[in-house]
Structure 1
Amino acid sequence: MPIRVELCHVDSNRVVVRATEWHSGDEQSSALGEANNAEEAEDRARQRLASRLKAEDQVPEPVEGQSKPVPGPAKPAPKRIAKPDAPSTSQAPATPAKSRSESSQPTEVDQHEAPVAQPPSEAPTDPEDWSEELAAIDIEVRRIGWDRAMEGIYLERAFGHGSRHRLTRYGDLVAFMRQLKGLPEGAKPDTAPVPIRRSDLLEQGNQMLATLNWSSDQARQFLTKEIGASSRQQLSDEQLLQFNMLLEEQTLKASN
């Protein structure tokens, strides 16, 4: 299956590369690699991706001819207490409503299982006015020396379309602005590092949390222990990338 490699982040201390396996146009699995240079980062990303794919292939398949376990009979629903007929004058008074409520309460509790904890939404509230960010992008584009066509080439690589006006997520706009501020004058749009997309990082983190089968409490405890935050919403893009790298290490340990 084809593997696509993309440069996620470059600074003076490290390079981060993402290796992704594709099949029939769909992304199957991905892994991050970090090193002091792009070549080593790519090697690590490919090695981690290979380890993850190997672990997925080792999931035991049912043996041919072996009968599948037959599920047991369905658990009968709790019996409801029949409503008593209207009492006659010679019968004892009916049970007070309070007592009936108290007696039926345990049955109702047993019928409802505890809801599965869902990860909280990690998307911060977007501001309505983006004019300040757009003005900053104009300044950075002029500083680098790009025209609209060159900016379009870069945007196509980074976000899949060639116009900043098609950036509908505030997080993508901010990531674009921050990345431009780190580019030197004269940077080439077809080779300059593209920004880390926060939405991609969050989705990748969700996939790894699902692989680890962690609850929201487990994920929050791990985040607090390793980075000192209680929610991914509090993290910068760099910290979110670091958190994903830590999660990836946990998935590799779990697969070994």
Structure 2
Amino acid sequence: MRTHAQLCHISADRCVVLVEAYEGTTPLGSSLGEGRSVTEAEDQALERLHSRFSSSKPPAAEEAAITSAETSIESKTKTAGSKQPVPIKRVAPPEITASEEPMQVLQSMPPQLTPPVDASSMVERGPDPQAPSEAPIDPEDWSEELTAIDLELQRVGWDRDSEKIYLERAFGHASRHRLTRFSDLVSYLKRLRVLSPGSDPMHAEIPLRRSDLVTQGDEILKRLQWSQQQAKDFLNQNLQASSRQQLSDEQLLGFNMMLEEKLLNS
């Protein structure tokens, strides 16, 4: 297993690091860590990942078990003298059988009984964490925000070289024109607005990447196997909001940390 660490947030007394785990090129999961230093935050994220893997069977092990089972079935088939893999194909997984039977029932049922069955099926199929209201469509015209960024750069006293240094730290590339998400552009603008004139681009606080936070939250919600309503109820109880879109970047980060705690304690 290999890991990849990414700095999500850094300030004078707080660092947040995202650690992702891979088996070859297959992602196994990710976790957030928080601390007073980058090392402390990374260690916490790694510890959470190890705790999660130790309490549940890793995907790689599950895949190996499935492969072993298939090999065993194939071996038994060959021993019996069968040269065709037809018996293997006839062994249908439970979930396929379950999905086929409701289709047959629905075809024979009166039309008025269809909505309740569909509603039940939607709930049982698992969570759909990212509601439409949480992924607003990016506007086509970004000129207002780009102009505001130019004005903020003048106020802070940064030239193009200073901006390149900051963008490389915050987003991994040195040009704002490579920001393909409107949410990242807005996060950049918000962070510039709170910087003091003369700030050092090498040490100035970098913005939280909202798109990464939303993706991270979606992954945790899927692992929790929560329905969309469960996620909304948890959000309402803890942050008095009905959608993640209503949260600031800091609040969204805090929400993800709370979901992490739930996942570790489940």
Query: Structure 1 length normalisation: TM-score?
Result: 0.72
- Tell me which residue corresponds to 1:187: 200
Residue equivalent to 1:124: 136
SS of residue in 1 equivalent to 2:122 = coil
Q: Which residue of 1 aligns with 2:260?
A: 248
Q: Structure 1, residues 191-233: CA drift from partner, whole Å, max 9, x if none?
A: 5443211111111111111000000110011000111101111
Q: How many angstroms does 1:25 deviate by?
A: 5.7
> Which residue in the other structure is 1:8 paired with?
8
Matches within 5 A, 1:72-221: 75=101, 77=104, 104-105=110-111, 108=114, 112=118, 114-116=120-122, 118-119=128-129, 120-121=131-132, 122-184=134-196, 185-189=198-202, 192-221=204-233
Q: Which runs of 5+ in 2 are unaligned?
A: 74-87
| Conserved 8 A contact 2:22-2:29 | yes
Q: How does 1:34-53 map to 2 (within 5 A)?
A: 34-53=34-53
Alpha-carbon distance between aligned partners in 1 of 2:160 and 2:237, rounded to the nearest angstrom: 45
Instruction: Using the TM superposition, give the Cα deviation of residue 139 of structure 1 relative to its aligned residue in structure 2, in angstroms.
Output: 3.3
Work out the CA distance in 2 between the residues paired with 1:7 and 1:71.
Answer: 42
Q: Where does residue 223 of structure 1 map in the other structure?
A: 235
Given that 1:144 and 1:187 are in contact with CA atoms closer than 8 Å, whether structure 2 keeps it comes out as no
* Contact kept in structure 1, 2:163 and 2:201, CA below 8 Å: no
Which of structures 1 and 2 has the bigger CA Rg?
A: 1
CA-CA distance at 1:109 after TM superposition:
5.8
Query: For each residue in 1:120-156, what CA deviation from the matched residue of structure 2 results, as whole angstroms up to 9, or x when unmatched?
Result: 1212354454344223322333444433233224323
C-alpha separation in 2, matches of 1:104 and 1:46: 54
- Residue 88 of structure 1 is matched in structure 2 by none
CA deviation after TM superposition for structure 1 residue 177, in Å: 1.4
Superposition deviation, residue 48 in structure 1: 1.3
* Residue ranges of structure 1 left out of the alignment (5+ in a row): 82-102
Q: Which moved more, 1:168-177 or 1:140-149?
A: 140-149
Question: Are the counterparts in 2 of residues 15 and 37 from structure 1 also a CA contact under 8 Å?
Answer: yes
Q: CA deviation at 1:47?
A: 1.2
CA separation in 2, counterparts of 1:48 and 1:78?
A: 45
1:49 Cα offset (Å): 2.2
Number of aligned residues: 232
Displacement, 1:7?
A: 2.5
Within a 5 Å distance, the mapping from 1:51-66 to structure 2 comes to: 51-57=51-57, 61=62, 62=65
Q: Distance in 1 between matches of 2:26 and 2:114?
A: 44
TM-score by length of 2: 0.70
CA distance in 2 between partners of 1:107 and 1:116 (Å)? 15
Query: Contact 2:106–2:114 (CA<8 Å) still a contact in 1?
Result: no
Cα separation, 1, equivalents of 2:7 and 2:113: 57
Provide the identity percentage: 45
CA RMSD after TM alignment: 3.6
**Partner of 2:81 in structure 1?**
none
